[in-house]
Amino acid sequence: MNHDTSTLFTLPRRRKLSAVLAALAVAGIALPGCTAPTPDADPAAAQEILASHELAGLDVGEVIERLEAMPVADRPDRLLASVQPDALVLRDESGRESRLPMPRDTVYVSIAPFREHTHECHFHSLTTCLGELSDTEVRVSVTSEDGKTLVEETRPTEDNGFIGIWVPRDIEATLTVESEGLTGTVPLSTTSPDDRTCITDLQLL
């Protein structure tokens, strides 16, 4: 992941990230931002990759939620798991790559609200993306164009500084995050396979 290192914290609990990046670099895996290219679907390869990282038997939603909730220091080395609207793209240090299809009616979006520091991101990387505000209580809401509340949750961000939500497909909506008296709002779209799943431009003001 090619983050601008001037915008990231180098906390002791996050030092394992450097090992992840080094291993993927040795394998020749380019990491543009938090984004990965889309390989061909290969269910057998996907299951092999999951099994080698103690994720065997989990469906795509369970894999995403398991990796997102892991403490940064415990996340699998040498695994890239990139969330795209239509699939979870998996790669390991040996060059194996595959994808797990997303649910038909929902999309996973991960949000890293920030106050001062952020990074560019389009497709969320579950094993390498880091946000500014880890373990911070936030209220997240998603409102459709006709004013209907689609998501409303209050919970802490994960150790990586992100909070993940499942939202309906084929919507244009407004995403709002509130925390400690500060609020940020950005547009959210789930109408295209190219729509972003990584929200890092929501500043709390």
CA distance 130 to 180: 21
Has residue 2 got a pLDDT over 90? no
Contact in structure between 120 and 32 (CB atoms under 8 Å): no
Q: In this predicted structure, what is the pLDDT of residue 34? A: 64
For residue 179, list its beta bridge partners. Answer: 182
CA distance 79 to 81: 6
For residue 199, list its beta bridge partners. Answer: 111
Has residue 27 got a pLDDT over 70? no
Domain ranges of the chain: 5-101, 106-199
* 95 CB burial (10 A radius; 0-12, 13-18, 19+): exposed
CA distance 53 to 55: 6
For residue 188, list its beta bridge partners. Answer: 173
**Residue 96 pLDDT level (bands cut at 50, 70, 90):** confident
Number of residues assigned to the chain:
205
Q: Mean per-residue pLDDT for 178-190?
A: 99
**Residue 5 pLDDT level (bands cut at 50, 70, 90):** very low
- The fold for domain 106-199 equals Immunoglobulin-like (2.60.40)
The alpha carbon dihedral of 168, 114, 36, 45 has a sign of negative
What average pLDDT does the structure give for the chain? 85
